[in-house]
Structure 1
Amino acid sequence: MNIQPIMHELFDPLGVPVVPDIYTGKDCDHIVYNYADERPVIYRDDTDTEDETTVQVHYFTKNNPEKMKRTIRRLLRQGGFCIISTQQYYENDSDYNHVIVEAYITGFVNDELEV
């Protein structure tokens, strides 16, 4: 399952940069997402047809993260995800608050290459 379009549909309206894997920009607030796990959950005729895809959504800010943390969780639920866990850390080396929301979604397998 390709989660990139889903992540951008959910989070682009928030007005902060949203990127997969690594953020190299300069904005204080930003969201980075990554695949945590992807595995078949439904089989038909000995072929996997549906995957369960687990993602981690990382929100970084130097401000109070509480409002955005709740917003991210709400948007994930509205997008069909189930929340697994939410963690929050303060990173001393960068002075960032770091929120990690882990969630999963089930959808049809689409392993076609996109060009």
Structure 2
Amino acid sequence: MNVRAIVKKTLEPLGVPVVFSTYGGEEDTYIRFFFYNQNTALSAEDDEMITGHYVHIDIFTKSPKEYARLEIEVPKLLKTAGFYRRNQYDDYEEETEIYHKVLRFFYAQNKEEE
């Protein structure tokens, strides 16, 4: 399974839209993700054995309650699926009054799993 599908499937139980790259829906709460780096994590005999995927995840919401829930649940679900947290930070977009959580994770995928 490709990593884009793994991220989407992992976060779908949260009950909010989970989209790759851009969101065009009407919901005030949604999760967007994209990959900011994908490269060889392990090679043997000039063949890529494991690919490293660095994924950037944004949580957007106008609800402080949803923000608190999602900032706990997103990392928990991703960790269970084999992702490793790299960093995260909080942001608040005053113009749109949207809470924004940025999370970055790493996922190592064996080429045989693709």
Q: Work out whether the TM-score is over 0.5.
A: yes
Q: Distance in 2 between matches of 1:69 and 1:18?
A: 14
1:48: how far off? 1.4
1:2: how far off? 2.7
Count of paired positions? 111
Q: 2:106 aligns with which of 100, 104, 107?
A: 104
2:12 corresponds to which residue? 12
What does the per-residue CA deviation read over 1:16-64, in whole Å, with 9 as the maximum and x for residues that have no partner?
1110000011101000000011110111111112111010111100011
Q: Which runs of 5+ in 1 are unaligned?
A: none
Q: Secondary structure at the match of 1:94?
A: coil
TM-score by length of 1: 0.90
1:21 corresponds to which residue? 21
Q: Distance in 2 between matches of 1:81 and 1:8?
A: 13
CA RMSD between the two structures: 1.5
- The aligned runs of 1:76-91 (5 Å cut-off) are 76-91=78-93
User: What one-letter code is carried by the residue in structure 2 that aligns with 1:19?
Assistant: V
Q: Distance in 1 between matches of 2:3 and 2:100?
A: 21
Deviation above 3 Å: which 4+ runs of structure 1?
none
1:105: how far off? 0.8
